[in-house]
Structure 1
Amino acid sequence: MPYVPAPVSTGLRALSAVAPPLAVRVAARAFWHVGPPADVRPADRAVHERAERRAVDVGGEQVVTYRWGDRRAPAVLLVHGWKSRASRLAGLVTPLEATGLGVVSFDGVAHGESTGRRMSALEHMAAIRAVHDTEGPFAAVVGHSLGGLAAGLALADGLPVDRFVSVAAMTGFDAIAESFLRLVGMPAGLHERLCDHVERTFPGDVRDVRSRIDLVAHPVPEHVATLFVQDDDDRMSLPAGAPLLHAAVPGSSLLTTRGLGHTRVLDDPAVVAAVVAHVTAPLPLTVRR
């Protein structure tokens, strides 16, 4: 979710009441603001420090990659969310390594140790593809928040992975805008105006952004063994979205938790165990269409 300082949120709420068009323009600029890179948490530092680092070019930016485990082993790709970094998924690294898998992750554009000033779901998808081309192939991909959305869209776009876990992923562009308005305190009635403005000014002159960034309309392929994880107390990725994602992928599984919120769900032992079990379970016999 975009980083919006409290004074900016206060100003946006005031503008919404007296000058809605100006509020939308200012909000659209804040929508792209990543803010300072997230620090590596003390609990994640040991795993972070022992990773093998490389870099890959993504649209002229240098994206830092991390690898753990034997390079000859099948690998799992971990994809972080907005205002996060690869190290935030460190809790999954050691359990996955213990099963004999390798693990790869990366800091998205404008996040962690990578370069850049802003990032969208489409740029996160481009990074996923670039990391796949340089560090893959991957047996599975696990994505959190925006990382789950981008990874799911990459799979829908043909990323060759057989297993997928989405943790606290939003359904798409409109869901991101809805959460943004709610968290900064702007009226829900400005949703359409904000979406239209962001779509018109989307970087790179990309068309049909609103329809392209939609994981319900462009679901994960049915042949990909998929697990959706969603906490009932998540204030960023609203719980109502998870059943929609689940229903869009026949044969997928849905795990719901309570009291963990948007990020602490990554640290929950039961969730970690479920992710590892899904990634390592035998694949069902299905026919690819």
Structure 2
Amino acid sequence: MKKLLYFFYTKSAGLYINILSFVFPKKATQIAYSLFSEPRDGRLSKSSLPKVLQETYSETLQHNEHHFQSYTWKGNDNVILLVHGWESNAARWESILPYLQKSGSTIIAIDAPAHGLSSGKEFNIPQYAEFIHVLFQKYNPKHLIGHSLGAKTCLYYQSVYQNDDLEKMVILGSPSDFNIILNNYINLLSLNSIVTQGLEKHYLKNFNLKLEHFSGKLFASKIKTKGFIAHDTDDTIVLFEEGKKIASSWKNSVFVETTGLGHSLHDDVLYTKIARFLFETE
């Protein structure tokens, strides 16, 4: 029943946007973009934070007209930055924390735009990368770990900012081709060519990137930092081939294939491998 209702909702929304596009194409594109970029889940309340985040030093940082939230588990001078994905928040890292804390490191997790306690209604990777850069300027992390769209944001960040102080990156379940994500959305709503072209123009105008260039594989090809890429063969959210694309262009990386973990990639064996990659000397 839920699937049927979701089908009617998406197709009805698409039909409304398509009809509107013949009269007000810019308005139709704006609505389509809002539906695509506004998360429906992942928000947090200050009064009822998950326990794992209550145990941190919580900090609200300002960047331009937005603010974003960070959470710090204090340790030594080695800093690790954790970057979550779509419709999630900083609490998603609870399971991996014990493996990282064994090193004594200081660990910082961030809430993405429009997620957790961060401001805004829209999630986009360039803005998320700007938040990351603010934390890099303040805390100078040596290690960067990202999951899903957070992982792709990490790839984008390092390809653009080329931070020489960053020593190692861990990329978990990252998508590569943005066209795949956008086309899935377009097909879901059955959007017409007017709206489709409007969305493409929006990304070019606001992010100065053609959609085919907004690629994790392309970002990875520009990264010299050591990388650890993990992707699950049973991932139904981001297909396994996406991880392989990223690995194929990132020369200084290792690719770990898992099975049965799905998109979340929560697993003690995998966490042990990640800790080994980050902390063991070669």
Change (3 A) 1:165 1:20: farther
2:131 pairs with 1:147: no
Alpha-carbon distance in 1 for matches of 2:192, 2:233: 23
Return 5+ residue gaps in structure 2 as ranges. Answer: none
**What does residue 240 of structure 1 align with?**
241
Alpha-carbon distance in 2 for matches of 1:55, 1:204: 30
Q: Is the 8 A contact 2:221 2:251 kept in 1?
A: no
TM-score normalised to structure 1 length: 0.81
2:124 pairs with 1:120: yes
Shift of 1:221: 4.5
Alpha-carbon distance in 2 for matches of 1:251, 1:191: 41
Amino acid at match of 1:198: L
**What does residue 53 of structure 1 align with?**
58
**What does residue 286 of structure 1 align with?**
none
2:201 pairs with 1:200: yes
TM-score normalised to structure 2 length: 0.83
For the aligned residue pairs, the C-alpha RMSD in angstroms reads 3.0
Percent identity between matched residues is 16
Change (3 A) 1:271 1:15: farther
Alpha-carbon distance in 2 for matches of 1:246, 1:195: 30
Equivalent pairs counted in the alignment come to 267
Amino acid at match of 1:67: T
**What does residue 229 of structure 2 align with?**
228
Higher mean alpha-carbon deviation, 54-63 vs 237-246, is at 54-63
Change (3 A) 1:191 1:228: farther
Which residue of 174, 178, 184 corresponds with 1:173? Answer: 178
> Residue 114 of structure 2 aligns to a residue in which SS?
coil
Higher mean alpha-carbon deviation, 190-199 vs 55-64, is at 190-199
Higher mean alpha-carbon deviation, 249-258 vs 200-209, is at 200-209
Q: Is the 8 A contact 2:113 2:119 kept in 1?
A: yes
Q: Is the 8 A contact 2:158 2:223 kept in 1?
A: no
Alpha-carbon distance in 1 for matches of 2:273, 2:208: 38
Q: Is the 8 A contact 1:234 1:260 kept in 2?
A: yes
Return 5+ residue gaps in structure 1 as ranges. Answer: 284-289
2:279 pairs with 1:280: yes
Shift of 1:222: 5.0
Q: From the two aligned structures, give the one with the greater helix fraction.
A: 2
